[in-house]
Each structure stands twice: as structure tokens, then as C-alpha cells.
Amino acid sequence: MENRTVSMMMDFYAAAATAGALKDGKPDETMAWFDLFFRKTPKLGGFCITAGLQQTAEILCGLQFTDRELAYLQAQGCPAAFTDYLKNFKFSCDVWAVPEGTPVFPGEPVVKVKGPVIQAMLIETVLMQTMNFQSLIATKANRIVRAAQGRKVIEFGARRAQGASAAVLGARAAYIGGCAATTCAESAYAFDIPIFGAMNHNFVQLFDSEYEAFAAYAKAFPDDCVLLIDTYGTLSAGLPNAIRVFNEVLVPMGKRPRGVRIDSGDLAYLSKKVRRILNEAGFPDCDIIASNALDEHIMREMIQHGARVDTFLVGEKLITSADVPAFPGIYRIVARERDGAAAPVLKLAENVEKIATPCPKLLWRLFDMETGKAVADLLTTEDEDISGLREYHLFDPDYTWKRKTVTNFVARQLLTPLFENGKCVYKFPPLPEIRYYCAQQVDALWEEVLRFEYPHNYYVDLSQKLWNIKNDLISSMRGENSEE
């Protein structure tokens, strides 16, 4: 996507709000702090996986506005002083972020922004859009991969994705979440993701017989031969023809088949039958690949019923995150400059879950030194350092009588500098490293947190200092707004 289009990728209220942040015709340079976080994980399990950070950085590095765009904004009522500001726009915010592939929990700042209020507000839509979508797909992919219980999962959703960018970036996010490969050539090319290809039903039907189609494909791809065997009947036609081609075409060439794919019918039942017949025919090394509107729920049930599937191709229900089509990310101001210091800001909403934690914050994850497992996460103010502590007293921020003292732990700071004064300072690791890091971090969570249904509520606590600030601010605001 061109930078021009990306720069204008905002809800118009963001332009109106930032245009309003002018004082005497000049942009308000007051500093503000914003957090990007999510409130809850409906149907996504107990945690989410962060993704999209590299694309976010690329967008922020390339923000610029053309004369035509500025004329359009002015025609919609934006003052000339605002469009003049955008004409010479130079991003100058500080940004911190949780590395891609990290499991995160409700209420935690995934991205933290500090900068002139007019800039921090201007990037809201594009920041949320980029992080929300890829985090959604990475989270869904991780659930599907865990449901596969060690079997390969291949992202197969480009044809059903909601647009080209969703197909390409969705495949990237799915790879971070644990998928082994993608069928999307553009994503594989752009991000160096392993690619998977196989025949489709149209190819089979181009030939006068299924055998001819299989033979032609085997001759064209002898080192990567995967045959689709359910066009005319999996057990009655497809599998016998595949075995015949293996023996008559591949074996004489000194090659072995890579796999057969089943795309319809009772996949668990058929996979068991196909496995037995392939073994008896001398092809125990031939993988069985299953597809057909799969998701983590169907896959878990198939495995429980003894399915003999080696690889799952997962398409539309992954690339669209069918059961949770939108990620509940929020971008909120948490502090603004007052007398040279960061003054906490809080929205006192009618819905309690919408009351975010104020202040510029640090996000710590406490790991048990004996097991390596994550014990809890802790939000503190920026001036609190718990990295060298040997003991810490945690308490539930909502039910404060629930307390726990942790010892023999190491505390790691999750928010990492991404931009300093508008310059990207983060070195992005290669995508395979991000994928491996994601698998490690998920493995550090207790099994109870990884449950698909009713996962354990992972502890995200506040330091006593941060809790006091939040509650004092709530009490103060309630007092100011109470009726006499």
C-alpha cells in the first residue's frame, strides 16, 4: 500500500480532533501518553499474541501527506493551519512496544506512545488497524496450531481473505502464531515464509480421467507430489489412482510421494482408511493432508476420534478468524503534560471494564526461576524498578484481599523502545526467529492458561503505587461529579 493511502488511513474524527488541537493557529506541542491495549479475549482463550509491529514501524516511518490530500482535508472543513502543519509533518514521538509473538493479557499496554498530542492522536486508526488485525490472526493461528498437537498446520486462506492486504499480512501473522507454511505466493515471497502448493479440483477435471491428471502432475512435480484424491470418490477412485501413479510414475523415477489430500467427507474416518491402504501399498511415508473449512474445534475432535492426519490445511476460518472477526484493541490517552510532568488521565466510564489504568507504565513479567513458567504480570509506574527484587507482594487490583508473595523469580520488562524522537531504533529479528520466540513464550504459560475452554485467569496486577494513583483519581473524579 502506498504511503499516501496509509497516511490518509484514519477515521475522520481523528483529523477533526487533531485539527482542534491548535492553539492560536499553531499545533499544540503538549506531550501526551497513549496506550494501545485490549480489554478482553472473547472466544480467543486466555491470552492474545502480538503481531504487526514491523508494518506499524514502516508506516510510522513513511507518514507524509500530498498536496491533493491536504486540499481534500481543507475542503472538509479542516483549518488551513492544520493542513499547513501536515504539509511539513515529521513524526517525532517516542514509541515502546511488546515484541511480536509475545502472549499478552487484557489491560496490558501492547504499544505505548509519548509525543505531541496532535501526533499521538493522528496515528490512532492506522496503529490500531495494523496491530489489531495481525494480532487477531496470530492469536487464532496459535490456537489452531496447539489444537493440532504437533501436526503441521498450513495457512490456506488467500482465496477467502477480505482483501489482498489481509491475505498477505494474515499469512505473515499466521506464521508468527505457529503455522508451518502458507499457500499465498505473495506472502511467501515478501516475508520468506515456507510455501506449500498442491493440485486443485479444477486441475483434475481438465483431464479425461483422474489417472491422467495424477500422472501429469507427478511428472511435473516429482519431488513435491501431493495428489488431491476426493474429486470422484476418495476410496473408490482417488486413492487407487494415486497409488497406481506412485508405482508407475514416481517409483521408476526413484521418487517418493509427498502426500495425498482429502478435502471432503468424514475426514477422520477417511484418513484412517487411507492410512491403512497406503501402508499396505508400501507408502507409509506418504503424508495425509486434510482440508475443508477446518478450525481448532473440528481438528481437536478429529484427533480425539483417531484421525490419521499429518498436516492440516486451514483456510477461511483462520484468515478471517471466523468466530471472532474483530480484535478488541483500544487506544487511550493515559497521561498529559502539566507543569512539565506527566499528569495521569482517566476516563470514568459507566461500564467499569472501560476504566483504563492511567499513567505512563512499565509492563513486567515474573518468571519462576525453577520452572521457567510465567507467574504473573505486573504494571508499575515508570519510576519503579523491580528487576533486582528477591521478593514481591502481589495483589488482585479488583479483589485486593487476594494476595500472593512471590520469591525465587526473575522480572523481565516487556515494553521495548521502538521509536526515539520519531526515529526507529528497534532491530526487527527475522520472521522465523519471531515464530520461534512465540512458541517459547507460549510454552512458558501454565497448562491452565492454555485451556481452550474456561482458561485460568492469568494474574495482571498493579503495583501499590499505581493502584493508589488510579483509585485516588477515581475517588477525586467521583467527588467532582457527584450531585450536591
What pLDDT is recorded for position 483?
46
The more confidently predicted of residues 429 and 126 is: 429
Of 10-19, 229-238, 415-424, minimum mean pLDDT range = 10-19
Mean predicted confidence (pLDDT) in 444-461: 93
**pLDDT at 481 (0 to 100):** 55
- Angle formed at CA 306 by CA 302 and CA 308, multiple of 5 degrees: 85
Give tens-digit pLDDT for 97-115: 999 999 999 999 999 999 9
Alpha helices in 29-177 (DSSP H): 53-61, 67-75, 80-87, 117-122, 124-147, 164-177
Lowest mean pLDDT among 11-25, 65-79, 207-221, 268-282: 11-25
Whether pTM > 0.75 for this model: the answer is: yes
Segment (H or E) for 224: none
> What pLDDT, on a 0 to 100 scale, did the predictor assign at position 408?
95
pLDDT-above-90 percentage for the chain: 76
Report whether pLDDT(422) > 60.
yes
**What pLDDT score was predicted for residue 340?**
86
pLDDT, mean of residues 21-48: 81
Are 215 and 88 in contact by the 8 Å Cβ rule? The answer is: no
* β-strands 287-290, 259-262 pairing: parallel
Flag whether pLDDT at 141 surpasses 50.
yes
Complete domains list, the chain, with CATH? 3-137+325-481 (3.20.140.10), 200-308 (3.20.20.70)
Tally of CB atoms within 10 A around 351 = 7
Q: Which of 27-31, 83-87, 319-323 ranks highest by mean pLDDT? A: 319-323
Please tell me the predicted confidence (pLDDT) of residue 7. 66
pLDDT tens digits, one per residue of 355-366: 889 999 999 999
Instruction: Give yes or no for a contact between 419 and 60, defined as CB atoms under 8 angstroms apart.
Output: yes
Query: What is the predicted pLDDT for the residue at 233?
Result: 96
Residue range 165-197, pLDDT digits in tens:
999 999 999 999 999 999 999 999 999 999 998
- Give the residue from 273, 206, 200, 286 showing the smallest Cα distance to 245: 286
- The mean per-residue pLDDT over the stretch 29-47 comes to 87
Residue 131 pLDDT > 90:
yes
Query: How far lies 243's CA from each of 111, 170, 210, 337, 460, in Å?
Result: 53, 36, 12, 72, 55
Average model confidence (pLDDT) for the chain?
92
Q: How far is CA 184 from CA 129, 448, 474, in A?
A: 21, 34, 50
Average pLDDT over residues 419-429: 97
Q: Which residue has the higher pLDDT, 307 or 14?
A: 307
Contact 112, 450 (CB under 8 A): no
Tell me the residue length of the chain.
484
pLDDT for res 27 = 65
Q: What is the pLDDT of residue 22?
A: 67
What is the per-residue burial (b if ≥16 Cβ within 10 Å, else e) of 243-270?
Answer: bebbeebbeeeebebbbbbbbeeebbeb
Q: Is pLDDT of 12 > 80?
A: no
From the CA atom positions of the chain, what is the Rg in Å? 27
Average pLDDT over residues 30-36: 94
Residue 227 pLDDT: 98
4 confidence band (pLDDT: 50, 70, 90): very low
